[in-house]
Amino acid sequence: MYHIGKALCPPCRVLVVFAVALISLSALLASGPARAEGKVHVLALGDSLTAGYGLMDHEGFVPQLTKWLAARGHDVRVVNGGVSGDTSAGGLARLEWSLSPEMGGLIVALGANDMLRGTDPAVTRANITGILDIAQARGLKVLLIGIRAPGNYGPEWQAEFNAIWPDLAAQYAVPMVPSFFIGVEGMDSADVADLLQADGLHPTTEGVARIVEGLGPFVETLVTSIAR
Protein backbone atom coordinates (compact mmCIF):
# COMPACT_ATOMS: atom_id res chain seq x y z
CA MET A 1 0.00 0.00 0.00
CA TYR A 2 1.27 3.45 -0.86
CA HIS A 3 2.01 5.33 2.38
CA ILE A 4 1.57 9.12 2.18
CA GLY A 5 3.69 9.72 5.26
CA LYS A 6 6.80 8.12 3.77
CA ALA A 7 6.39 8.93 0.07
CA LEU A 8 5.89 12.69 0.24
CA CYS A 9 7.62 15.62 1.83
CA PRO A 10 5.78 17.27 4.80
CA PRO A 11 4.30 20.20 2.77
CA CYS A 12 3.11 17.76 0.09
CA ARG A 13 1.53 15.53 2.68
CA VAL A 14 -0.45 18.51 4.00
CA LEU A 15 -1.68 19.34 0.50
CA VAL A 16 -2.74 15.76 -0.17
CA VAL A 17 -4.58 15.45 3.12
CA PHE A 18 -6.31 18.78 2.46
CA ALA A 19 -7.34 17.63 -1.03
CA VAL A 20 -8.73 14.36 0.33
CA ALA A 21 -10.71 16.30 2.96
CA LEU A 22 -12.15 18.59 0.28
CA ILE A 23 -13.21 15.62 -1.85
CA SER A 24 -14.88 13.97 1.14
CA LEU A 25 -16.65 17.19 2.08
CA SER A 26 -17.84 17.69 -1.49
CA ALA A 27 -19.25 14.18 -1.58
CA LEU A 28 -21.03 14.75 1.72
CA LEU A 29 -22.53 18.04 0.58
CA ALA A 30 -23.60 16.51 -2.70
CA SER A 31 -25.46 13.69 -0.99
CA GLY A 32 -26.82 15.52 2.09
CA PRO A 33 -29.01 18.20 0.51
CA ALA A 34 -30.28 15.76 -2.12
CA ARG A 35 -31.76 13.67 0.68
CA ALA A 36 -32.94 16.67 2.68
CA GLU A 37 -34.70 18.28 -0.27
CA GLY A 38 -37.21 15.44 -0.47
CA LYS A 39 -38.28 15.70 3.16
CA VAL A 40 -41.28 17.83 4.09
CA HIS A 41 -41.34 19.54 7.49
CA VAL A 42 -44.66 20.29 9.18
CA LEU A 43 -45.39 21.80 12.59
CA ALA A 44 -48.48 20.47 14.38
CA LEU A 45 -49.48 23.36 16.65
CA GLY A 46 -52.00 22.27 19.24
CA ASP A 47 -52.89 21.29 22.78
CA SER A 48 -53.03 17.99 24.70
CA LEU A 49 -54.75 16.23 21.78
CA THR A 50 -51.74 16.99 19.60
CA ALA A 51 -49.24 16.44 22.41
CA GLY A 52 -50.45 12.88 23.07
CA TYR A 53 -51.63 13.35 26.63
CA GLY A 54 -51.68 10.15 28.70
CA LEU A 55 -49.98 8.04 26.03
CA MET A 56 -46.52 6.61 25.42
CA ASP A 57 -44.36 8.71 23.10
CA HIS A 58 -44.91 6.43 20.10
CA GLU A 59 -48.68 6.24 20.64
CA GLY A 60 -49.57 9.92 20.29
CA PHE A 61 -51.06 11.83 17.37
CA VAL A 62 -47.81 13.05 15.83
CA PRO A 63 -45.91 9.72 15.75
CA GLN A 64 -48.99 7.83 14.51
CA LEU A 65 -49.59 10.47 11.83
CA THR A 66 -45.94 10.34 10.77
CA LYS A 67 -46.13 6.55 10.48
CA TRP A 68 -49.41 6.80 8.52
CA LEU A 69 -47.82 9.22 6.05
CA ALA A 70 -44.65 7.12 5.71
CA ALA A 71 -46.76 4.05 4.89
CA ARG A 72 -48.10 6.03 1.93
CA GLY A 73 -44.65 6.93 0.67
CA HIS A 74 -44.29 10.41 2.15
CA ASP A 75 -40.99 11.49 3.69
CA VAL A 76 -42.37 13.84 6.34
CA ARG A 77 -41.06 15.18 9.62
CA VAL A 78 -44.02 16.22 11.74
CA VAL A 79 -42.91 18.31 14.72
CA ASN A 80 -45.00 17.92 17.85
CA GLY A 81 -46.01 21.47 18.74
CA GLY A 82 -48.70 20.33 21.17
CA VAL A 83 -48.76 21.67 24.74
CA SER A 84 -51.28 20.24 27.18
CA GLY A 85 -53.73 22.84 28.44
CA ASP A 86 -52.71 25.36 25.81
CA THR A 87 -55.16 27.92 24.44
CA SER A 88 -55.17 29.79 21.15
CA ALA A 89 -53.37 32.63 22.97
CA GLY A 90 -50.58 30.28 24.06
CA GLY A 91 -50.24 28.88 20.55
CA LEU A 92 -49.94 32.36 19.08
CA ALA A 93 -47.36 33.38 21.69
CA ARG A 94 -45.02 30.48 20.93
CA LEU A 95 -45.54 30.03 17.20
CA GLU A 96 -42.72 32.22 15.89
CA TRP A 97 -39.97 30.52 17.90
CA SER A 98 -41.44 27.10 17.09
CA LEU A 99 -40.95 27.62 13.35
CA SER A 100 -37.52 26.44 12.25
CA PRO A 101 -36.28 27.67 8.84
CA GLU A 102 -37.01 24.41 6.99
CA MET A 103 -40.66 24.32 8.06
CA GLY A 104 -43.01 24.23 5.08
CA GLY A 105 -46.39 23.54 6.62
CA LEU A 106 -48.51 24.19 9.68
CA ILE A 107 -51.37 22.22 11.20
CA VAL A 108 -53.41 24.45 13.52
CA ALA A 109 -55.39 22.43 16.07
CA LEU A 110 -56.19 24.93 18.82
CA GLY A 111 -59.34 26.19 20.48
CA ALA A 112 -60.54 23.24 22.56
CA ASN A 113 -59.31 24.80 25.79
CA ASP A 114 -60.75 28.16 24.78
CA MET A 115 -64.07 26.35 24.44
CA LEU A 116 -63.77 24.63 27.81
CA ARG A 117 -63.03 27.96 29.48
CA GLY A 118 -65.84 29.78 27.73
CA THR A 119 -63.41 32.28 26.21
CA ASP A 120 -64.93 35.21 24.36
CA PRO A 121 -65.11 34.02 20.73
CA ALA A 122 -63.74 37.38 19.59
CA VAL A 123 -60.55 36.68 21.56
CA THR A 124 -60.16 33.21 20.08
CA ARG A 125 -60.81 34.58 16.59
CA ALA A 126 -58.12 37.23 17.05
CA ASN A 127 -55.60 34.62 18.19
CA ILE A 128 -56.26 32.22 15.31
CA THR A 129 -56.09 35.21 12.96
CA GLY A 130 -52.68 36.08 14.39
CA ILE A 131 -51.48 32.52 13.82
CA LEU A 132 -52.65 32.59 10.21
CA ASP A 133 -51.02 35.97 9.66
CA ILE A 134 -47.66 34.55 10.78
CA ALA A 135 -48.11 31.49 8.58
CA GLN A 136 -48.99 33.66 5.60
CA ALA A 137 -45.97 35.91 6.18
CA ARG A 138 -43.72 32.82 6.31
CA GLY A 139 -45.24 31.36 3.15
CA LEU A 140 -46.41 28.23 4.99
CA LYS A 141 -49.08 25.87 3.75
CA VAL A 142 -51.78 25.53 6.42
CA LEU A 143 -54.35 22.98 7.48
CA LEU A 144 -56.87 24.47 9.90
CA ILE A 145 -58.69 22.10 12.25
CA GLY A 146 -61.95 23.47 13.59
CA ILE A 147 -64.01 23.03 16.73
CA ARG A 148 -67.64 22.12 17.15
CA ALA A 149 -68.72 23.62 20.48
CA PRO A 150 -71.68 22.36 22.53
CA GLY A 151 -74.43 24.71 23.66
CA ASN A 152 -73.22 25.04 27.27
CA TYR A 153 -72.73 28.79 26.99
CA GLY A 154 -75.87 29.45 25.00
CA PRO A 155 -76.74 29.33 21.30
CA GLU A 156 -75.32 32.76 20.49
CA TRP A 157 -71.91 31.96 21.98
CA GLN A 158 -71.96 28.56 20.28
CA ALA A 159 -72.76 30.00 16.86
CA GLU A 160 -70.15 32.75 17.17
CA PHE A 161 -67.47 30.32 18.34
CA ASN A 162 -68.20 27.67 15.72
CA ALA A 163 -68.05 30.26 12.94
CA ILE A 164 -64.43 31.19 13.66
CA TRP A 165 -62.82 28.38 11.65
CA PRO A 166 -64.91 28.35 8.48
CA ASP A 167 -64.79 32.15 8.37
CA LEU A 168 -61.01 32.29 8.67
CA ALA A 169 -60.51 29.35 6.31
CA ALA A 170 -62.43 31.30 3.66
CA GLN A 171 -60.66 34.57 4.47
CA TYR A 172 -57.17 33.07 4.21
CA ALA A 173 -58.03 30.51 1.52
CA VAL A 174 -56.74 27.58 3.56
CA PRO A 175 -58.25 24.08 3.82
CA MET A 176 -60.20 23.28 6.97
CA VAL A 177 -61.29 20.10 8.72
CA PRO A 178 -64.44 20.65 10.83
CA SER A 179 -63.20 18.66 13.83
CA PHE A 180 -60.12 16.94 15.23
CA PHE A 181 -62.39 13.96 15.94
CA ILE A 182 -63.61 13.61 12.36
CA GLY A 183 -62.33 10.04 12.32
CA VAL A 184 -64.77 8.92 15.04
CA GLU A 185 -67.81 11.00 14.11
CA GLY A 186 -70.85 8.95 13.27
CA MET A 187 -69.89 6.11 15.59
CA ASP A 188 -72.15 4.96 18.41
CA SER A 189 -71.50 6.79 21.67
CA ALA A 190 -70.60 3.51 23.39
CA ASP A 191 -68.00 2.75 20.73
CA VAL A 192 -66.57 6.26 20.99
CA ALA A 193 -66.33 5.88 24.78
CA ASP A 194 -64.14 2.83 24.28
CA LEU A 195 -61.71 4.99 22.30
CA LEU A 196 -61.30 7.52 25.11
CA GLN A 197 -59.15 7.46 28.22
CA ALA A 198 -60.74 7.40 31.68
CA ASP A 199 -61.15 11.20 31.66
CA GLY A 200 -63.58 10.92 28.74
CA LEU A 201 -61.72 13.66 26.86
CA HIS A 202 -58.46 12.28 25.49
CA PRO A 203 -58.18 9.40 23.01
CA THR A 204 -56.55 6.07 23.69
CA THR A 205 -53.94 4.64 21.34
CA GLU A 206 -56.71 3.11 19.24
CA GLY A 207 -58.65 6.36 19.42
CA VAL A 208 -55.66 8.23 18.02
CA ALA A 209 -55.39 5.67 15.22
CA ARG A 210 -59.03 6.37 14.27
CA ILE A 211 -58.39 10.12 14.42
CA VAL A 212 -55.35 9.75 12.17
CA GLU A 213 -57.39 7.72 9.68
CA GLY A 214 -59.84 10.62 9.51
CA LEU A 215 -57.34 13.49 9.43
CA GLY A 216 -54.63 11.68 7.45
CA PRO A 217 -55.98 12.33 3.95
CA PHE A 218 -56.22 16.07 4.67
CA VAL A 219 -52.65 16.13 5.97
CA GLU A 220 -51.54 14.10 2.96
CA THR A 221 -52.98 16.78 0.69
CA LEU A 222 -51.13 19.42 2.70
CA VAL A 223 -47.85 17.50 2.38
CA THR A 224 -48.33 17.05 -1.35
CA SER A 225 -48.90 20.78 -1.82
CA ILE A 226 -45.67 21.55 0.06
CA ALA A 227 -43.62 19.02 -1.92
CA ARG A 228 -44.58 20.51 -5.30
**CATH number of the domain residue 112 falls in:** 3.40.50.1110
Does residue 177 share a domain with residue 94? yes
Does residue 215 share a domain with residue 181? yes
Does residue 120 share a domain with residue 101? yes
Does residue 87 share a domain with residue 123? yes
Judge whether residue 15 has pLDDT over 90: no
Strand arrangement, sheet containing 141-145: 76-82, 40-46, 105-109, 141-145, 176-177
pTM over 0.75: yes
Q: Count of domains in the chain?
A: 2
- 149-178 confidence digits (pLDDT tens): 999 999 999 999 999 999 999 999 999 999
Does residue 166 share a domain with residue 188? yes
State how far Cα 90 lies from the chain centre.
16
Backbone dihedral region for residue 4 (phi beyond 0: left; psi -120 to 50: alpha; all else: beta) = alpha
Give 14-64 as a DSSP string. HHHHHHHHHHHHHHHHHHHHHHHHT-EEEEEEESHHHHTTTS-GGGSHHHH
What is the reported pLDDT for 37?
Answer: 57
Does residue 75 share a domain with residue 15? no
Does residue 14 share a domain with residue 46? no
Judge whether residue 22 has pLDDT over 60: no
Does residue 171 share a domain with residue 123? yes
Catalytic residue positions, numbered: 48, 199, 202
Does residue 68 share a domain with residue 33? no
Domain that holds residue 52: 38-227
CA pair distance 197, 59, nearest whole angstrom: 13
Does residue 28 share a domain with residue 138? no
Residues 6+ apart with CB under 8 A from 35: none
- 91-148 confidence digits (pLDDT tens): 999 999 999 999 999 999 999 999 999 999 999 999 999 999 999 999 999 999 999 9
Does residue 57 share a domain with residue 12? no
CA 24 → CA 18, 19, 21, 27, 61, distances in Å? 10, 9, 5, 5, 40
Does residue 132 share a domain with residue 74? yes
